[in-house]
């Protein structure tokens, strides 16, 4: 492994020299520099970044050349008698005014680009983005589409049990889909702690803050799959809630919207169906692995002092009403959030039933299961 490491370092250093000294812009360039992105704004931001970068490089070369010249030319050996000057008003004035003018020169394009970014008029499509610990919810305001987007990378890959895939930590179970060439506006907020929705290819980074709605917009010209991340520390799994946006043609987008609507109808049918314990437990395991393991762990034992143990818990074993209530309402002042909007009635019932059956819990408690109808009942306004 050490050998592999040194080779890869060598390769990288080699690439650095090639890139820096021959000016070749290859695919490797993306490993060093900001992405140009795929929108007019992101390209403008990139140009701005390069402009400031080169100004800094030029100033750096001038200042450091004078410094290194002094270091070599005025050593004690070569110049045993130092000069005694220690003030010069003209020079001092010059190096105050000239940098100021350079700054003004930089501030003009920067302010222009910023003003363009700050255009919060309505989009053709408006999508509400809600940050949760540790997933994103997307609500399409016009089409009544609503889903959660979770990390799709297997925890075995993260824990080095299986090889890591190409899109390790950059893949989700369900991506945001938007059509090409349309103005899409994102209304960004959060449900629990701060998050930040970052899509480098669109040059959008906007904090998701509970109680506030921030807006960002984009018009993407190139279809493709774009990958971003959460960039505000949001707890344990901050590094594990990526953002994926699929940009597709208008036709594909319409088909996708249609598909999502049919899915919703099917889900309604599932709620009506009568479920057996096994069916619920089986479905519940999947729901658990997606939504609950991060805190309560695969073995249900949680993390002592932070995340409660579910295996053998009295509430899970004997208190069905409280069990449902916790999942529906969350726990005030603790990391446990409300899952009422995140899970369908079916998934909610399935995951509760699963916890009541798994890890040796089966047979140790009141043995009651929770059906989708129980959840529907719970959701009805109370008299």
Site for other proteins in 89-148 (CB under 8 A): 91-92, 95-96, 99-100, 103, 106-107, 110-111, 113-115, 117-118, 133
Q: Which is nearer to other proteins, 46 or 256 (CB)?
A: 46
The residue count for binding other proteins (CB under 8 A) is 100
Long-range contacts of 43-48 (CB under 8 A, 24+ apart): 44/113, 44/116, 45/113, 45/203, 46/203, 48/109, 48/110, 48/113
Q: Which is nearer to other proteins, 58 or 321 (CB)?
A: 58
Minimum distance, C-beta of residue 75 to other proteins, in the bound complex (Å): 5
Q: Site residues for other proteins, window 8-37 (CB under 8 A)? A: 8-9, 11-12, 30-35
DSSP reduced 3-state for 281: helix
Q: Which is nearer to other proteins, 194 or 264 (CB)?
A: 194
Q: Which is nearer to other proteins, 333 or 381 (CB)?
A: 333
Q: Site residues for other proteins, window 306-345 (CB under 8 A)? A: 306, 333, 335
Q: Which is nearer to other proteins, 17 or 254 (CB)?
A: 17
Is residue 39 within 8 A of residue 221, CB to CB? The reply is yes
Minimum distance, C-beta of residue 371 to other proteins, in the bound complex (Å): 31
Assigned token pair, 177 = 């889909």
d(CA 204, CA 217): 8
Task: Tell me which of 21, 87, 90, 265 binds other proteins, using CB under 8 A.
Answer: 87
Task: Tell me which of 20, 24, 67, 255 binds other proteins, using CB under 8 A.
Answer: 67
> Which of these, 46, 52, 40, lies nearest to 220 by C-alpha position?
40
Task: Tell me which of 234, 280, 346, 375 binds other proteins, using CB under 8 A.
Answer: 234
DSSP assignment string, 218-237: EE--S-EEEEEEE-S--STT
Q: What is the DSSP letter of 181?
A: T
Minimum distance, C-beta of residue 144 to other proteins, in the bound complex (Å): 26
Task: Tell me which of 82, 265, 314, 383 binds other proteins, using CB under 8 A.
Answer: 82
Q: Which stretch binds other proteins (CB under 8 A): 50-58, 122-130, 218-226, 363-371?
A: 50-58
Minimum distance, C-beta of residue 298 to other proteins, in the bound complex (Å): 14
Q: Collect all residues with Cβ–Cβ distance below 8 Å to 330 and sequence separation of at least 6.
A: 336, 337, 338, 339
Dihedral, 128, 132, 137, 139 alpha carbons, nearest 10: -30
Q: Site residues for other proteins, window 270-309 (CB under 8 A)? A: 303-306
Task: Tell me which of 20, 26, 64, 322 binds other proteins, using CB under 8 A.
Answer: 64
Q: Site residues for other proteins, window 145-174 (CB under 8 A)? A: 157-160, 164, 166-170
The burial class, CB within 10 Å (0-12 / 13-18 / 19+), for 108 is exposed
Q: Site residues for other proteins, window 193-232 (CB under 8 A)? A: 193-194, 196, 198, 200, 203-207, 209-212, 214-215, 229-232
Judged by CB under 8 A, does residue 45 bind other proteins? yes
Q: Which is nearer to other proteins, 229 or 356 (CB)?
A: 229
Q: Would residue 367 be called left, alpha or beta, if left means φ above 0 and alpha means ψ between -120 and 50 degrees? A: left
Half-sphere exposure of 80 (CA within 13 A, CB side): 1
Long-range contacts of 30-36 (CB under 8 A, 24+ apart): 34/200, 35/200, 35/201
The burial class, CB within 10 Å (0-12 / 13-18 / 19+), for 78 is exposed
């Amino acid at each position: 492994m050490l050998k592999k490491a040194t080779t890869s370092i060598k390769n990288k250093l080699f690439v650095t020299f090639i890139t820096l000294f021959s000016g070749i812009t290859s695919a490797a360039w993306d490993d060093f520099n900001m992405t140009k992105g795929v929108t007019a704004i992101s390209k403008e931001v990139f140009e701005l970044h390069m402009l400031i970068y080169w100004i800094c490089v030029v100033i750096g070369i001038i200042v450091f050349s004078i410094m290194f010249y002094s270091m070599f030319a005025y050593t004690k050996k070569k110049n045993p008698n130092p000069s005694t000057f220690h003030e010069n008003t003209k020079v001092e004035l010059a190096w105050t005014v000239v940098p100021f003018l350079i700054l003004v020169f930089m501030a003009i394009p920067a302010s222009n680009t910023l003003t363009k970014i700050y255009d919060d008029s309505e989009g053709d499509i408006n999508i509400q983005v809600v940050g949760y610990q540790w997933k994103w919810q997307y609500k399409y305001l016009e089409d009544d589409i609503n889903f959660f987007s979770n990390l799709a990378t297997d925890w075995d890959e993260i824990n080095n049990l299986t090889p890591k895939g190409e899109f390790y930590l950059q893949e989700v179970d369900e991506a945001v889909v938007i059509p090409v060439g349309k103005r899409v506006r994102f209304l960004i907020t959060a449900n629990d702690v701060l998050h930040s929705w970052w899509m480098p290819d669109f040059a959008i980074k906007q904090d998701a803050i509970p109680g506030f709605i921030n807006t960002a917009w984009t018009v993407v010209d190139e279809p493709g799959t774009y990958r971003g991340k959460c960039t505000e520390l949001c707890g344990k799994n901050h590094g594990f809630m990526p953002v994926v946006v699929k940009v597709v043609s208008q036709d594909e987008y319409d088909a996708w919207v249609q598909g999502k609507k049919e899915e919703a109808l099917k889900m309604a049918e599932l709620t009506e169906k009568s479920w057996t314990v096994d069916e619920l437990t089986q479905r519940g395991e999947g729901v658990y692995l997606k939504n609950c393991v991060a805190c309560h762990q695969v073995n249900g034992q949680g993390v002592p002092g932070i995340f409660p143990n579910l295996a053998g818990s009295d509430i899970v074993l004997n208190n069905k009403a409280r069990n449902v209530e916790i999942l529906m309402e969350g726990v005030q002042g603790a990391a446990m959030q409300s899952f009422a909007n995140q899970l369908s009635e079916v998934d909610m019932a399935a995951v509760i039933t699963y916890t009541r059956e798994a890890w040796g819990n089966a047979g140790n408690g009141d043995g009651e299961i929770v059906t989708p109808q129980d959840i529907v009942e719970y959701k009805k306004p109370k008299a």
